[in-house]
Structure 1
């Protein structure tokens, strides 16, 4: 059996349904894949293909697979940044010129290893198909082990053709069956009993406890255990943006996203804590609002499957190394039913109620151009019970992370930093979950990055609802930059304004359905129509660039 047949049949046996790529790479493998039932999805840029694989991996738990030829490797490596930051399992396959072409100014060839090193947790060169079974198994295991992140196999040949055409004696079905069972998180270790007892004692000794759950908690699927522990402690629960939707966002214990992309109550509550329990959550600048929330000097207990996350930003009183769900369950048993006064939780609930009352008029706004807060409220109502909401970075993350409410069964995916990520990612998410509706929130500035993937959606029949928050500019920075420009508003416009563009009309040019929405009262009908369609529908919502998203409270 040659390498192309082996790779195609291994991916099929592993449960993989799609491979995302930019030509020209693995052409023999792609033909074999199509024959066995794995769908090749040709994208228009390597970054878009990487974003598709990223979201596929986040939804499926199996690595999303993305491929590009030698000259496209640099673009593909750049596209893996979001998957790295978002802790997503991705398998990147590239071709490289053969060894006797290296260091000889081979056309379009640059060293691949330095490009991929910052974006991957494992990388290897594959010279022949005989190496492929071992290296594919190793890469898959690395991608799905905590923390899940991209891996890279660099295949011999401009298009990987030397690996494709050489022979292997391995049986792909046996390998694929093994890989099918390896989904992130691959392992669920429990923290050692002594650490669990120490953490239980620390939590019981403090009355004003707040829980901050992050992306690792979301990956672990620990929502039930998290709520049980929080109820026992009478502790409010804040989340990172990536963990939005881990618990019902309307739950009495929920205080929303904390940090720089937060509504005010979350930061106020976390800053008032005596002890913070971080669960599968990094302590970077975004989730801590530049290390001001929680306050320096607060007591910290931290649960994480990755030991490198301890002691990064706050001294840790008790570190529990283990899977968040398994460790929370052990911690809950050790904690029992401690006496709690519930004062901080009552304060948190009062702050949340006051904030929800304050923002309610905007959620019902009849203003035109449309307030994006009203769009967020309409998406909350329209998103199906098992729907997937995909949001871009920047203001898209803030609008959806603070004003779109989510219930158990719904999934929230957000860009970890790459503008333009959301629309290609939405296509990848739908490939991983063909039975679920996918709604994408993208600003117009983000959509311009990968507008051409509308053609991919049409050609491959991938159905998502693409909602464009169309304010003809980069809204997040607009008011401050306009203020900086003083009496020269045209100078500010040259930097941050563009359009206006009718994206519904553009969608129709691609052969898709497009709906233009200019009045708030028309949003609900447009979303309902789009969600019933079995094709990608662009809902182009004309919004007000001067509308401000909720801003975080700062100590």
Structure 2
């Protein structure tokens, strides 16, 4: 007999899933019965929130959906925060959970792990939540999930399996097969021509590239060069143009130089960005202050009409759209104003950088430049805030963080582990505050257990320094922000990491070089006051 739980993992493997993150529980045992025979790797985090963050980091770097096996009840409430972060950043996560048996769902009888309505909870942080009431439904639910991941706006999906189905005989379902999935929507000849005409006639075009355009880097670069158009990159879009490119503007879109660049343009081409308040705050609400024509390219037709109303909306894959529009535009003549406008925006931003931000940018630059292809994963802390404002990378996905969007703490460590699993040959560094680290500290054990060496920079100010500053600026006595800070060197030793405290900022490069050649993870604690 082949159980339904075994069929589920066989179907995942048949559709390209290579690993799952999960903590086995009494309600998910049947999902593990056939796991070894499929060749799927399993990674056990120390908390379901860590599982979600690891799957998030894995998905961002690999381009494949992160998959989690989660128990009903507390497993889902624990992973909900990670799903919220992935939902805001459009990251594909597949969360497969158990649920109490059919007939008992919603009974309130007091079953183990019972919630009144798991799906209602999960709907708030997912593209959809589906309860499989018949074994034949699972393939269709999985196909729907993968269709969203590959041809729509990717977001978490939750599929729950009642306990009384997981152990049933699934022989009647046949052999697990690869699914036939739809392609992303096409641009359309008329839409491409209309966009190209607006851009050809523009004297001062600007491209705004967001996280949804990460895979379109080469096409956007060619289009920008043909138009001589500066490319303003959101935080999730950094690296779409390399930081050294003359048209690259790695500036937080709500900052004055970025807003001025947009205000003085005559056509804005926005690709894969919400044009929303996380990136732009309230700066784009009034279209009367932005005379430019706006073209928006997005996989989500609803999102294309949110944030800032477009003159032309195109629902399409970012790469295909940029390529088709670019094919209709002849390269610009040398000496256009685009490079000068990009340089001016960069210079204006550099003049606004504070002393504390310079320290943070110096740290991030040392991490980026110390070794090729380094991936930097950030939490909410001062260096990462500085990076969000004006840090550039050489390719997409080399710097991502939780400081925007949902804005959770504790993200960087487990997400960095997921990133390292996806790209074991690349150096991975996480930058996290001493307060944020204590949210997911236990995941240091996961890195050691799976032999996943990363470098962790702990930016230490003995508490929640940013919130303390905000309270003081608001005239509120700081309460609850000065917290006990443990000895991170001893903790590192306990988890079989190398741990050290950096007293001399000038020694950072040497410490990083030593950490990169170690076979185990390294923790380097930097005291904020000594570095700023």
- TM > 0.5 fold call: yes
Structure 2 counterpart of 1:298, from 272, 292, 297: 292
1:311 corresponds to which of 301, 305, 315: 305
What is the match of residue 152 of structure 2? 146
Partner of 1:368: none
Instruction: Report how far residue 154 of structure 1 moved.
Output: 0.7
CA 1:380/1:123 → structure 2, altered by over 3 Å: closer, same or farther? same
Q: Could you tell me the TM-score, scaled by structure 2's length?
A: 0.89
Q: Is the 8 A contact 2:231 2:248 kept in 1?
A: yes
Shift of 1:239: 0.8
For residue 267 of structure 1, the aligned residue among 259, 270, 277 is 259
Structure 1 residues 177-192: aligned runs within 5 Å: 178=179, 187-192=183-188
- For 1:392, the equivalent position in structure 2 comes to 379
For the 8 Å contact 1:478–1:545, the answer to whether it is kept is no
The equivalent of 2:203 in structure 1 is: 207
Residues 104, 411 of structure 1: alpha-carbon distance in 2 compared, 3 angstrom cutoff: same
Structure 1 pair 428–246 and aligned structure 2 pair: CA distance change class (3 A): same
Given the alignment, which residue of 476, 481, 486 partners 1:496? Answer: 481
Deviation at 1:403, TM superposition (A): 5.2
| 2:3–2:170 Cα contact (<8 Å) kept | yes
Shifted more, 75-84 versus 4-13: the winner is 4-13
| Residue 333 in structure 1 maps to residue 323 in structure 2 | no
Q: Are residue 420 (structure 1) and residue 410 (structure 2) matched?
A: yes
The change in CA–CA distance for 1:99 and 1:351 in structure 2 (over 3 A counts) is closer
Q: CA deviation at 1:464?
A: 1.6
Counterpart for residue 551 of structure 1: none
Q: Is the 8 A contact 2:263 2:291 kept in 1?
A: no
Per-residue deviation at 1:146? 1.6
Give the match for residue 88 of structure 2. Answer: 85
1:334 aligned counterpart, secondary structure: coil
Q: 1:361 to 1:380 in 2, by over 3 A?
A: farther
Alignment of 1:106-255 (within 5 A): 106-107=110-111, 108-110=113-115, 111-157=117-163, 162-172=165-175, 174-175=177-178, 178=179, 187-218=183-214, 221-255=215-249
- The aligned counterpart of 1:16 is 17
- Distance 1:292-1:174 versus aligned 2 partners, 3 A rule: closer
- Offset of residue 71 of structure 1: 1.8
Q: 1:152 to 1:360 in 2, by over 3 A?
A: closer
Aligned: 1:378 with 2:370 = no
Determine the C-alpha separation between the residues in 1 that align with 2:417 and 2:126.
23
User: Is 477-486 or 517-526 further displaced after alignment?
Assistant: 477-486
What do residues 48-107 of structure 1 show as CA deviations (whole Å, max 9, x unaligned)?
111111222222222211122122222223331011111111111111111232314223
Q: What is the CA–CA distance in structure 1 between the aligned matches of 2:456 and 2:140, rounded to whole Å? A: 40
Contact conserved, 1:376 with 1:403, CA < 8 A, in 2? no
CA shift for structure 1 position 266:
2.9
Q: Once superposed, what is the RMSD of the aligned Cα atoms?
A: 2.8
Q: Give deviations 1:377-422, integer Å, cap 9, x for gaps.
A: 311222x323322112464542333454421376233223222111
SS at match of 2:257: helix
CA distance in 1 between counterparts of 2:382 and 2:172 reads 52
State whether structure 2 residue 439 is matched by structure 1 residue 453.
no
Partner of 2:453: 463
| Correspondence 1:510 to 2:495 | yes
Question: So what's the TM-score if we normalise by structure 1?
Answer: 0.86
Residues 338 and 530 (structure 1), Cα distance of their counterparts in 2 relative to 1, 3 Å cut: closer
1:326-379 CA deviation, whole Å, 9 max, x = no partner?
Answer: 11111112222466873354133134246558869989x8xxxxx333322311
Unaligned runs of 5+ in 2: none
- 8 A Cα contact 2:13 2:38, kept in partner: yes
- What's the secondary structure of 2:438's corresponding residue? helix
Per-residue CA distance 1:32-58 (angstroms, 9 max, x = gap):
323543222222222111111122222
Relative to structure 1, is the Cα distance of residues 143 and 380 closer, same or farther in structure 2, using a 3 angstrom cutoff?
Answer: closer
Q: Report the CA distance shift for 1:405/1:206 in structure 2 as closer, same or farther (over 3 A).
A: closer
Shift in CA distance, 194/35, structure 1 to aligned 2, threshold 3 Å: closer
Q: Kindly indicate whether the alpha-carbon contact (under 8 Å) linking 1:376 and 1:399 is maintained by their aligned counterparts in 2.
A: no
Ranges in structure 1 where 5+ consecutive residues have no aligned partner? 366-370, 548-555
Question: Within 2, Cα distance between the matches of 1:246 and 1:34?
Answer: 39
Return the alpha-carbon distance in structure 1 between the equivalents of residues 212 and 523 of structure 2. 32
1:226-285 Cα deviation digits (max 9, x unpaired): 12221122111111111111220121001113324x5x5333322322221101111101
Post-superposition offset of 1:431: 1.9
Q: What is residue 3 of structure 2 aligned with on the other side? A: 2
Deviates more, 1:284-293 or 1:317-326: 284-293
Contact 2:349 2:390 in 1 (8 A): no
Who is 2:462 aligned against?
472
Structure 1 residues 405 and 533: CA distance shift in structure 2, 3 A: farther
Which whole-Å deviations, capped at 9, do the CAs of 1:475-534 have from their partners, x for residues lacking one? 333334224448xxxx42x33222444323211122221122121112112211222223
